[in-house]
Structures are given as C-alpha cells and as structure tokens.
Amino acid sequence: MANQSLTEAPERPSTGPVAPVGADLLASLRGDSSRRPLVDPGLAGGLRDWLEDGLCSLPLGVQTPILVNKQTLRDALAGRTNQPRVERSITDSVALGALMDALFRQFVTIGHIEDPMRNGLDALRVDPRRSEVIDFVRGLEPQERADFEDELETQSAILVSRWPRLSPSWLPRTQERITVPLAGGDVVLVGNIDLIVGAPSAGHASVGLIEVKSGRARIEDRDDLRFYALLETLRSGAAPFRVATFYTRTGLIETEDVDDGLLTSSVQRVLMGINRMVAPA
Amino acid sequence: MALPKAASLTDALTLGASSMVSPDEFAEVRQAFEHELRRTTRSLPTGERIRVDGYSLRNAMSGGAGHGGAFRWTPWTARRPIGIECVRASLANPRLTPLQASHDVITRLVRQADEQRGRPGSLSEWLAGLAVGGRTVVQAEAVVWATQLTTALDWTRLSRPIVGDDRSVVLPSSSQVLLRGRIELRTFATPARVQGTNPRRRLESEPSVLFATMTGRPSPTARTELGLAALTVALGDRHGEVPVRVLGWWPQCGRALVVPVDLTLLNQTCEAVVGTVRSMCPTIPQKSRPSRATGERTGRHTGKTSLPQAVGEVDRIAS
C-alpha cells in the first residue's frame, strides 16, 4: 500500500517568524530518502505495454487523437463524457486557481511575491490563452474584486509562510508539460505539472511531483497525482518517489509514496476512462 | 545528473561511425539542389527572401498554413535562446544550476536593454519591458527547457560539445532563400581506432553528430525536419563534411528519433525544401517537368522576409 501522510499548517499564517520556514513541508516532500525505491528499468516499458494492449481492444474511432488529461479522465469516469460539451466558464475559483498557480511559479522561481494581484495578472498577461481570466477579474464589481483580492492575498501569504526557498540543486521546474502518445498517436495522455523537483537518477527514484490547489481538498486530487506519476514514469523511464498536493487555502500538504501498486491502479483507471470516452452513447 | 534514458541517448548519439556521404557525393547533391532552388525562385520578386526552417517545412509538408503571423517574443519563443545560454553557463560552471543560470542570463539581458544596447524588437528590449510577473514566466519556461536539455545527456561523455550551433545558410546561387537549421548540440561520434598519433588524422576520424530538442511529440515530418539540420551543417562546412547522424529528442514525451544522414535523407530533405520554397513563391505556369517535390502543396507566404533585415545574420557559403 502506498504511504499517505498529511501535514497541516495553521489555518492562517502566523504574524511572527516561523523558524525554519517550511522545514516540515520540506521533510514531507523528501520523505525518508533511505526508503526510496530503486529505479526499475523495465517498469515503464511494462506499463506502456499494458496501456497499448488495453487500447488495442478499444474502438478508438475516427475522432482521434483522443486527448486524455486529468479533467477529461475525471469527466469520463463520472459519466459526463457524452453530455453536450459546455465551455468551461471562468468563475471565482477558476480565476483564483490560475492566479495562485502563477504566484506559486513565481515564488519557486524567484523566491518572492511583491503584490499578489499585480504579479499574478502580469504573469497571465504574457499568455494569450489566459486573457479570459484577466477579463473576468477586470469585470468584477468593486466589492467582489476586493473580496477576491483579499482571498488571493491570504492564500499568497499562506504560500509564502509555508514554502521555503527550494535549493536550486533540487532542479525545481514549474508547469512542465508531459505528453505521452499511445496507440500510434491516436491517444495522447497530457499533463501539466505545477512543480517537479529532484535531479533525475538512474539509481534510486529521485523525482517528486507537486500540484498546487487553491480550493478545498477533494478525493479526486489524489487520482490526478497518480495520473501524473504514471505520465512521468512513461516519459522518463523512472517512477517518481513521491507525489504531493499543496493546498494554498489551508497550507495543508498531502503526500503519497509512489509504488508499483499506485502506478498499476492508475493504468487501470486510464484504460477505464478511455473506454468510457470511446463507448457509444 | 542524468535521466535513466541519458546513458542510452548518449550512446545512440555518439556511437562510432564513419560518414555515409563523401564530400564528392554531397557536392553532387548540392549542385542539383542549387539548380532546383534557382529554378524555383525565379518567380520571387526581387528583394524578397524566403526563410525555410523546421516550422515552415512542417507546415508545407503537412499542408497546414501555420498561424502565419509575424514573429513576436513570448515566454515560449524566448525560452530557447535563454535556455541555451543557461546550458552553456552550466557547462562552464557545473555548480551552476539552470535556475541560477537563468537568473544571471535574464539580468544580463535586461541590463543590456537598460544600457540601450538592445536592438528594437530584440529579446533584451522585450524582457526589459515586462513586469516582474511576466518576466518570471519567461525565466520559469527557460529553466524547464534548460533542465530538459541538461538532463537528457551524459555530458561527461561528449567530445567538444557545442551548445546552440544553429545554422543560417544562404546559397550564392539562390540568395533569396535562407535555410535555418536549429541545432541544440553538435558533438562528435566516438572515434574509430586510428593508427598513429597525427592529430589531423584523429579529427578527420570524428564525424560530427547533431542533437535537436523538439517540441510536443514526433510528427510524420520529423525525419525531414532533422534532415534540414544536417543539410544546413553540410552546406555550411567548407569541406562539405556531412554529419553522420541527427538525434531528435522530444522531452515532453521522452521519445527520441535517431536519423542516420545518408544520401536518401539528404535528397528527401532537399526535395522538401524545394517544395516548401515553391509553396511560398508566386505561382507561374510550369513548362518544364516538375521535380518530385513540385507543386505538391501550397502554403501561405509565412517564411518571407525582406532582404535588408536578414543580411548580416547569415553565413554566406562559398560555392
């Protein structure tokens, strides 16, 4: 069984300095380094074969490639596949999530956040795909905007109070995209991971994956991370040693060790999800 | 600091081999290529230049028009030039990580703009105009790019690696066409055993090999895109030396494609380039027999630049 653990921060950041900042968070990310598994060079190939074999028997149809990301997988497994496609509208929580992702990236990269709202919007402004979020924030009524900004500043303060500056030797890289083509490119597994740390190694597993969430903790969050652990294994040939979700709303971090059982359960979930995506309505 | 795949990628890149295309054979390929290019660009108005790079090649071959807009700096177009500087810095100082190096590179570029040494529209000018939040996105993208390249290979086993060895080639016989090859790394194949200690002999026994970082996942045109990198290196070499192989690496999906550079690849690449150029030229009635690549596809004039802008940035090749 995978080892799961929770580390919770105070509900709101304390006013006084916490020393050392984020030591417990780092410890929970690292885990017990002596217990990290050896990289199994045959594992990634085996998982890929399993997926390919599973896809062989599915009627993939003509509407390919089928893009499978954490959201489409969730929708498929929840039976929302065959409903009319509704464009995801921007809401408070979506906008907050986009801004917190940008602020987390900034904090990991340069180690500070000056003005959460300004920094976050500036980050989104360089990405044309995020213009809807900017428009949404601009369109808020004064009171709504004040409340929104208050929540953003609170979550940003929790982030800064909980996260230490990561050592550059951990090779932190943010919002790294992974695409895994399967079935000759007819199916593409896609993920965009908020933070990957750890110098890749051929010896012991040495890479950790971290997702940042601005909303409440949900059971599906763990499935998302297991999906990302599978993607990273397929891409790099080595499984990550640990996955974690950090909640900027509470400062809570949830971690899970990656083992063969976690990865095989993710393979089954992916196959089940794709099966439902391609199943006739 | 190497991915599990790094050892096998390095093996695949540097595996000992001798060149499969002799300078004489390449001279023939080149002659035919120049002839075809000259013929194809006759309809191109004077003063216009067509740029053929991997992107335009892919668009022309797949029948896509691309977005066709003018180039502009974004975090995704800026990550490569910054990332290359980061990798160079990390190689010069192994204690320097991509994150630290990216900070230094961006600081230097912004200072360059502040001292008004940046050209209008240059990367440094654009970076200097960004607020902290935007500039951080650029830095973060460059860190990802540089980390992917740094960890893809076992650098300790590479012979005289040259990072960011892009080639821009204008052939004297077809000066309206600019060929652009993107090469993340040029190094040398493991030398075959050579008798004696003559250093010149030793160097001759080390054919170059190329490494190109690609985006997304392999497409059907990948082989030709990699062929373009090899073609530009061969065209730019004074002695017509042809690289022995190109290795394309897609870090997002962990896939690699090893392409041996032989006459077939070079001929196919030349045909694809001519086809791309033709798709960008104004159509004129063709009286002569079209080449194999002729008129297969049409595309938008996405690769045109006016001559004055490109002059000075290219290596003119002696015929």
Alpha carbon B2 to its chain centroid, in Å, reads 24
Q: What residues pair up with B213 in beta bridges, in sequence order? A: B249
A244-270 pLDDT, tens digit per residue, is: 999 999 999 999 999 999 999 999 999
Asked whether the beta carbons of B198 and B234 are under 8 A apart, the reply is no
Convert the pLDDT of each residue in B261-272 to its tens digit.
Answer: 999 999 999 999
Tens-digit pLDDT profile for residues A15-70: 444 446 678 888 888 888 888 888 888 899 999 999 999 999 888 776 778 999 99
Tell which B residues from 247 to 266 touch A, by Cβ distance under 8 Å: 252-255
DSSP state of A38: B
B191 band by pLDDT with thresholds 50, 70 and 90: low
| B24-29: average pLDDT | 94
Q: For chain B, what is the radius of gyration of the CA atoms? A: 20
Q: Which one has a higher pLDDT value, A205 or B169?
A: B169
Nearest CB neighbour to A169, from listed B6, B97, B144: B97
The type of residue at B79 is R
Answer whether B5 touches A (CB < 8 Å). Answer: yes
Residues 6+ apart with CB under 8 A from B186: B161, B162, B165, B208, B209, B210, B211, B233, B243
The most confident of the ranges A128-132, A197-201, B186-190, B257-261 is: B257-261
Structure tokens given for A136: 């949404």
Test B133 with A169 for CB contact under 8 angstroms: no
ipTM of the complex: 0.90
| Closest by CA position to B29, among listed B273, B266, B276 | B266
Res A83: pLDDT = 56
Output the pLDDT for position B289: 47
pLDDT for position A18: 41
Query: CA-CA distance, B319 to B117, in Å (whole number)?
Result: 35
Whether B139 and A169 lie within 8 Å, measured CB to CB = no
pLDDT of B43 over the 90 cut: no
**Could you tell me if B196 lies within 8 Å of chain A, comparing CB atoms?**
no
Q: Is the pLDDT of residue B312 over 70?
A: no
**A173 contacts in chain B (CB < 8 Å):** 98, 140, 143-144, 147
Q: Which tokens is B100 given?
A: 């630290």
Backbone Cα Rg of chain A:
20
